[in-house]
Structure 1
């Protein structure tokens, strides 16, 4: 039985920050780059970021994603998340 997924803003920020830190032209980031997190949960949050066009990513299986880059809107959302954690 699958458990219910709740949106985790901290995880969204972690994913976006990791993509932001990647050097230009670096290999893709995958959900396996988050070893202390449930892969299905990471995959679901990557899907949420794709749905909003905050990242460019491709699905390579049920819970497998490759993230190529963050978008302009993604940078704006990351900034908003960071500001909300400061207050």
Structure 2
């Protein structure tokens, strides 16, 4: 619950900035990294500026180990094939 607003905002940011399917999925997948305080990973990085120490301390980051069930559930929502199959239509007609 503590990340709901940010996840929704990130989804709309993804919708606004992505130009193709691959970029959309990559940016959306970045949500899963971002909420665990990982801003660079093997296949990408967050598009925001580096966070200050104060900004880092403000957030209650999810822990990849302790919150693994929550992250799995979120991944199943964000990466749901029914949602991903509709992205090409959205990108074409927005």
| TM-score (structure 1 length as normaliser) | 0.33
Say which structure is richer in strand.
Answer: 1
Decide which structure has the larger Cα Rg and report it: 2
| TM-score (structure 2 length as normaliser) | 0.31
